[in-house]
Amino acid sequence: MKGLEKQSGARSGPDRARPAPQGGRDTPTLGPGAILSVRNLTLRIAATPILDDVSVDLNAGEVLGIVGESGSGKSMTALAIMGLLPKQAHASGQIMLEGRDILPLPDRAKQAIRGQEIAMIFQEPMTALNPLHSIGDQVAETVRLHTRASRAEARARARDVLDRVGLSGPRFPLTKYPHELSGGQRQRVLIAMAIALRPKVLIADEPTTALDVTTQAEVLSLLTRLVEEDGMGLILITHDLAVVANIAQHIAIMEQGRIVEAGKVDTVFARQDHPYTRKLFAASAHQPDRTMARGDTPVLEVRDLVRDYALPRKHLFAKQEHFRAVNGVSFTLRQGENLGLVGESGCGKSTLARAILGLEPVQGGDIHLNGARVTDGMTFAQRRGIGVVFQDPYGSFNPRHKVGRLVAEPFHLLDDPPGRAERRERVADALRDVGLHADDMDKYIHAFSGGQRQRIAIARALVIRPSVIVLDEAVSALDVSIRAQILDLLAELSAIHTLSYLFISHDLSVVRAITDRVLVMKDGEIVEEGATERLFTSPEHRYTRTLLAASPRLPDRGQTDAP
């Protein structure tokens, strides 16, 4: 590998435009040790201002976290550094890579830098790899693009790099295709592709957002290790303060195209000078005020529930095989109780939710709702007792109906549906309950933001006053500040109406904030159940401990000392 590197370095002619190694140390504009320095970067796309006077420094061997909510401009900053801005973008300022301003370079020169000196990995590992090329070819491509390595040399290099990111030879031959790998493994391939030529700067844009917590922890520790070993600088772009707290040395907090606060992670976390920083911290660690209105009456009882899926047959005459997504799950949800259900993707938590909602047939066990046994297909009377809020605020509504009609949909379940006037009155009540205005019922759904849509979804779930609401990742798609508001709303509604929640989430910190009791699910089974505080402070099951250890946490100071 070393030999190859020398060879390629020697072979890359002057046209490669690779700057002479100078370390940047003596360039006056740079801070000490900075390899990349963004100076006064201002960007607009067409007439819309995107970035305003952004300046950050990245040191070799260090991690810089750029944190912000959606629309803060953090991803655009990354694309500007990569030279991958959309066509109508106009950027001014400087992007100094080892003392050379790369912003004004023509695309051809930027191509030589991309992948070789600055590399990038993206959020969606499932779609970021070409499905038709083998992983070996895709990693080798980076090498072949920038060096004169032969096909065999490039493949050897690809093998080495894949080994380095933990995809070792025997299990992950170069001939594997992306669809044969899990999300975490694909993200490793993308990392291998990015670090194949030992770039000076690696930009990771939400690299773990689409991954489970345990996988996230693995990928983050891999990135940290690579930074240490290669001495490259890593820009970690994320919405999650806790992720940055755990691995970055420096942090920049962005809001609406500006950097509002930047500096060493410890300092920023301790001081929180800017109001937005404080707001972000407060929202991230938000604990809704929950006054208990708990009864002892069980409203939802699940006993030994089993859900099997028929798997596609291996060949035409193969025996039909089944996958048990939910395996003998039992639990009880009491009146006014908020019950959390946590687990990683594929553990069966969403299947369980859908089975409870009567959206899927079950193969065993039974469900009692408000004391009555739920039959197959669920009668209207049974369905009346349960409502649901889904994850995606954009997919949850028929775009062709007005809000009034959307919220009124569950009236269908009533034996004696209210007349037009009464229906409007009750929809108006529900909208007011969730902090919206009665007039909103005459608007179409596209007039509302993500957070408002989630409020409307809650209004719809609430309108016929069920005793249980299933919240399936209901706040997962929201920015932290909006999420905090919705959590407050949920806590308030639960208290007022003695509502019970089954709160399903992959995000442990949210579950800790809103629930009384937690179920931990793995491979279709509940592995641990307990009061929230007990479970989070002294987990009993090994898997629960793994989950807790893997989930990034904000340092305590940030949680309590914020003024």
Partner 1 sequence: MRVPFALALGGIVSLVFVAMAGLSYLWTPYDAEALSIANRLKPPSAEHWFGTDHFGRDIFSMIMVGARTSIAVAVASVGIGMGLGVPLGLWAAARRGSWLDEVIMRGNDLVFAFPSLLIAIMIAALAGPSVMNAILAIGIFNIPVFARLTRGGALSLWQREFVMAARVAGKGAARISAEHILPNLANLLIVQGTIQFSVGILVEAALSYVGIGAQPPTPSWGRMLAEAQTMVSFAPHMALFPGLAIVLTVLGLNLMGDGLRDLLDPRGRERTA
Partner 2 sequence: MLRYLLIRLVSLTATLIAASVVIFLVMAVIPGNPAVLILGINAQEDTLAALRAELGLNRTLPEQYLAWIGGLVQGDFGTSYTYKVPVAELILDRIWISLPLTLYALALSTAIAFPVGIIAATARGGVLDFGIMGATQLGIAIPNFWFAMMLVFVFAVTLGWFGAGGFPGWDDPLAAIKALTLPAIALALPQASILARVMRSALLETLDEDYIRTARAKGLSRGGMLWRHALRNAMIPVLTILGLQFSFLLAGAIIIENVFFLPGLGRLVFQGITQRDLIVVQSTVMLLVFAVIVVTFLVDLAYALVDPRLRR
The contact set with partner 2 (CB under 8 A) reads 82, 84, 107-108, 111-116, 119-122, 124, 127-134, 141-142, 145-146, 177, 179, 190, 193-194, 314-316
Write down the least CB distance from residue 316 to partner 2, Å. 7
285 touches partner 1 (CB under 8 A): no
Are 396 and 457 contacting, i.e. CB atoms less than 8 angstroms apart? yes
Separation between Cα atoms, residue 11 and residue 27, nearest integer Å: 27
392 touches partner 1 (CB under 8 A): yes
Which string of b and e fits 162-174 if b means at least 16 CB within 10 Å? bebbbbeeeebeb
Indicate which of partner 2, partner 1, none lies near residue 132 (CB less than 5 to 8 Å, by partner kind).
partner 2
Indicate which of partner 1, partner 2, none lies near residue 400 (CB less than 5 to 8 Å, by partner kind).
partner 1
Angle at 552 between CA 139 and CA 475, to 5 degrees: 95
Picking from 161, 196, 39, the residue whose alpha carbon sits closest to that of residue 104 is 39
CA distance to 287, 451, 504, 530, 549, per residue, from 537 (Å): 16, 31, 20, 11, 11
Would you say 315 or 319 has its CB closer to partner 2?
315
Indicate which of partner 2, partner 1, none lies near residue 358 (CB less than 5 to 8 Å, by partner kind).
partner 1
87 touches partner 1 (CB under 8 A): no
**Among the residue ranges 62-70, 170-178, 389-397, 430-438, the one whose residues contact partner 1 (CB under 8 A):** 389-397
Indicate which of partner 1, partner 2, none lies near residue 134 (CB less than 5 to 8 Å, by partner kind).
partner 2
Helix, strand or coil for residue 148?
Answer: coil
Q: What is the DSSP string of 428-473?
A: HHHHHHTT--GGGGGSBGGGS-HHHHHHHHHHHHHTT--SEEEEES
Write down the least CB distance from residue 49 to partner 2, Å. 23
Q: How many residues bind partner 1 (CB under 8 A)?
A: 29
* Site for partner 1, residues 439 to 458, rule: CB under 8 A: 446-447, 457
Would you say 116 or 351 has its CB closer to partner 1?
351
CA distance to 191, 280, 386, 513, per residue, from 490 (Å): 39, 20, 16, 11
Indicate which of partner 1, partner 2, none lies near residue 296 (CB less than 5 to 8 Å, by partner kind).
none
Are 185 and 129 contacting, i.e. CB atoms less than 8 angstroms apart? no
Are 309 and 510 contacting, i.e. CB atoms less than 8 angstroms apart? no
Are 184 and 218 contacting, i.e. CB atoms less than 8 angstroms apart? yes
Indicate which of partner 2, partner 1, none lies near residue 523 (CB less than 5 to 8 Å, by partner kind).
none
Picking from 463, 380, 386, the residue whose alpha carbon sits closest to that of residue 428 is 463
Are 281 and 241 contacting, i.e. CB atoms less than 8 angstroms apart? yes
Would you say 122 or 390 has its CB closer to partner 1?
390
Would you say 53 or 394 has its CB closer to partner 1?
394
Indicate which of partner 2, partner 1, none lies near residue 193 (CB less than 5 to 8 Å, by partner kind).
partner 2
**Among the residue ranges 184-192, 219-227, 397-405, 490-498, the one whose residues contact partner 1 (CB under 8 A):** 397-405
List the end-to-end C-alpha distance of the chain, in Å, as a whole number. Answer: 53
Binding track over 298-337 against partner 1, x by CB under 8 A? ----------------------------------------
**Among the residue ranges 224-232, 273-281, 385-393, 555-563, the one whose residues contact partner 1 (CB under 8 A):** 385-393
357 touches partner 1 (CB under 8 A): yes
Q: Which residue has the tokens 């939910």?
A: 326
For residue 118, what are the β-bridge partners? 114, 201
Would you say 177 or 411 has its CB closer to partner 2?
177
Q: Interface residues with partner 1 (CB under 8 A)?
A: 354, 357-359, 378, 380, 383, 386-388, 390-392, 394-400, 406, 409-410, 412-413, 446-447, 457, 460
